[in-house]
Amino acid sequence: MKRYTREIFVFLLVVSCTFLFTAISSSSEKEPVVAEVNSDDEIIEEQPFSIEAYPEEASKEVRNKLDSLLKRINKRHDFHGAVLVSKKGKVVYNNQIGFANFQKKTTLNKESAFQLASVSKQFTAAAIMLLHERNQIKLTDSVNDYFPNFPYHGVTIENLLNHTAGLPKYFWVAEHKWHEEHAPRNKEMMALLESSKVQRFYKPGYKFDYSNTNYMVLASIVEEVSGMSFSKFVKTNIFDPLQMNNSYVYSFENDSIKKNQLKGYRLYKGWRHLPINNTVNDAIVGDKNVYSTTEDLFKWTVSLNEGKLLSKESLELMYAQGETINGRKIPYGFGFRIDTKEQNSIYHHGKWNGFSTGLTQYIDEDLVVVVLEHTGYKAIKALSKTIKGIVAEHMALDS
């Protein structure tokens, strides 16, 4: 009996060793993971986004002038933020000044992520256009195609995109009709619009009226059609492909604070910076709540213009002035404000909870100016024009 037991033990030991050796050999022979394989079995490696700097000698004087400008507005106007300037797709200037956290006295850096406020809307518009290109939605679809109980009939996706929908302000609805302890999310706000019976301002298509409600509804449509959260959709389809590694959608109460995520501040008694608390409107996404950096916004603008995300036809729609039913041109495309008179620029500004932001493309000069700030700076538009003027004065715009 002992002999058989010993033989069984030896047999099991041999089998175990053989299995272990096979597993180790198999593991060591596995092919490395690759980014993607095309139909011809050709390995495609993801190339890092290359941020090309403008020639140092040609931009030296501009950089000195902009350094002086940032120091001046930091001292005189409490500017704590970041500025990036690019020309013909090359970075002329990229710098930060001031504090990230006033209590800890930590300074801003390239990875400091600012709440973009309404500059976020262009990402919502791009998400919609991606679904449009994939034939998952049509711009002529109505909101009721996706939310049958939506009380404002006849509102199309295009109405939402260019602010001709006439919907009530969801800020007001949340502040007066929401009675829960937590801030409402998009799905809850859509339900609240259904039940609150707040009247619309006008029938869709007849007027232009800039409204955050439109982009809250658009983000809700993205979630409904894609079957994923707006945050995940934008990360998967926009931020990751464009290597915007410091960008994300943040919803108060739903998401955790990330490293380098900034708070907005207000100035108290002219010297003390107090953090601004979240409000009942801070869990809504689509109209705001994208966080990003100047470098990521540079990547975004270049990639968008070079057709790395959307088709030329989609981009033309986003950059074109909208129209009312009566054919009146309006100064808004899809997620972008359009200025064809004063500056010939495509831009957007944002302001929310201490954050002031601006992303401007000056078309004639092939110039991009990004300004991000988080202590309530009140002159983003004027600052962008000043920066453009410095570039024009000290650097040939056609070089």
Q: For 185-200, what is each residue's pLDDT tens digit? A: 999 999 999 999 899 9
**CA pair distance 349, 289, nearest whole angstrom:** 14
pLDDT one-digit tens code per residue, 379-393: 999 999 999 999 999
Confidence (pLDDT) at 236: 98
Look at residue 56 in the predicted model and tell me its pLDDT.
84
Q: Residue 211: name the closest of 167, 176, 155, 249 by CA.
A: 167
Per the listing, tokens 């010939």 go with 344
Span 198-216, average pLDDT: 97
Q: How far apart are CA 385 and CA 344, in angstroms?
A: 12
Angle at 155 between CA 153 and CA 158, to 5 degrees: 165
CA distance 144 to 229: 20
- Do 48 and 35 touch, CB atoms closer than 8 A? no
Q: Is the per-residue pLDDT at 29 higher than 60?
A: no
Asked whether the beta carbons of 122 and 297 are under 8 A apart, the reply is no
- How far apart CA 88 and CA 91 sit, in angstroms, is 8
pLDDT, mean of residues 153-159: 98
Instruction: Give the per-residue pLDDT at 389.
Output: 96
What integer pLDDT is reported at residue 342 of this predicted model?
82
Q: What band does 211 get if pLDDT is binned at 50, 70 and 90?
A: very high
In the predicted structure, residue 9 carries a pLDDT above the cut 90: no
Q: What domains lie within the chain, and their CATH numbers?
A: 56-394 (3.40.710.10)
User: Would you place residue 45 in the very low, low, confident or very high pLDDT band (cuts 50, 70, 90)?
Assistant: low
Instruction: Give me the pLDDT at residue 395, please.
Output: 84
Residue 314 scores a pLDDT above 90: yes
In the predicted model, is pLDDT for residue 215 greater than 50? yes
* pLDDT per residue as tens digits for the range 332-378: 999 999 999 888 999 999 999 999 999 999 999 999 999 999 999 99
Q: Which residue has the higher pLDDT, 235 or 252?
A: 235
Query: In sequence order, what are the beta bridge partners of 345?
Result: 339, 362
* Residue 46, pLDDT score: 62
**DSSP label at residue 144:** G
Q: What average pLDDT score do residues 274-297 get?
A: 97
Stated pTM of the model: 0.88
Mean pLDDT for 266-280 is: 94
Model confidence at 259, pLDDT cuts 50, 70, 90, reads very high
Nearest partner of 94 among 70, 119, 122, judged by Cα: 70
- Alpha carbon 37 to chain centroid, angstroms: 29
Q: Is the pLDDT of residue 268 over 70?
A: yes
Residue 225 pLDDT level (bands cut at 50, 70, 90): very high
Q: Does position 287 have pLDDT exceeding 50, yes or no?
A: yes
Segment among 45-59, 62-76, 103-117, 347-361 with least mean pLDDT = 45-59
Q: Give the gyration radius of the chain's Cα atoms.
A: 26
- Residue 112: the pLDDT is 98
Residue 167 in contact with residue 211, Cβ under 8 Å? yes
**In this predicted model, what pLDDT tens digit does every residue of 86-136 receive, in sequence order?**
999 999 999 999 999 999 999 999 999 999 999 999 999 999 999 999 999
